[in-house]
């Protein structure tokens, strides 16, 4: 039996989550244009942050830039790179209380060697249940 969106074994039916929106800058243009590295890095940091990665897809653009999307049991994550300015947008939304989206963003910033990290956290759904 499959779980509905925003449900995990620990929080079935919990309509609550955290949405972390981040901008990373001061990142190597080469890393931001390396599709395979970005796919692997996003999957790894999400797993380390206790998210359940179901699928990762990506698109490399010409002349540069990469978008990577991760489908999670807990919701989704995305990165959109801008190698020409050494920056990347990161978006991680997880429902329930098990996954740690802010940790995933910090681990990704570390993996990319970002010089600057700016984040906003939006609590979504039923506020008293969000982690």
CA angle 34, 38, 43 (to 5 degrees): 155
> What's the pLDDT at 2?
45
Catalytic residue, candidates 95, 116, 118, 129:
95
Residues of the chain with pLDDT under 50: 1-3, 8-9, 12, 130
**pTM attached to this predicted model:** 0.89
3-state secondary structure of 101: helix
Is residue 75 annotated as part of the catalytic site, yes or no? Answer: yes
Is residue 40 annotated as part of the catalytic site, yes or no? Answer: no
Q: State which H helix or E strand residue 44 sits in.
A: helix 35-48
Is residue 73 annotated as part of the catalytic site, yes or no? Answer: no
> What's the pLDDT at 12?
39
> What's the pLDDT at 30?
98
Per DSSP, what are the bridge partners of residue 90? 22, 79
> What's the pLDDT at 13?
52
Catalytic residue, candidates 40, 76, 78, 80:
80
DSSP label at residue 84: G
């Amino acid at each position: 039996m499959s779980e509905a969106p925003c449900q995990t074994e620990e929080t079935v039916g919990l309509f609550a989550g955290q949405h972390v929106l981040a901008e990373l800058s001061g990142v190597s243009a080469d890393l931001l244009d390396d599709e395979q590295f970005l796919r692997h890095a996003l999957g790894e940091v999400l797993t380390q942050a206790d998210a359940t990665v179901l699928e990762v897809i990506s698109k490399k653009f010409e002349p540069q830039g990469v978008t990577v999307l991760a489908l999670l049991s807990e919701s989704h994550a995305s990165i959109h790179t801008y190698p020409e300015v050494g920056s990347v947008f990161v978006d991680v939304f997880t429902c329930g209380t098990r996954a740690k989206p802010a940790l995933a963003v910090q681990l990704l910033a570390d993996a990319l060697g970002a010089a600057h990290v700016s984040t906003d956290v939006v609590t979504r759904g039923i506020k008293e249940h969000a982690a």
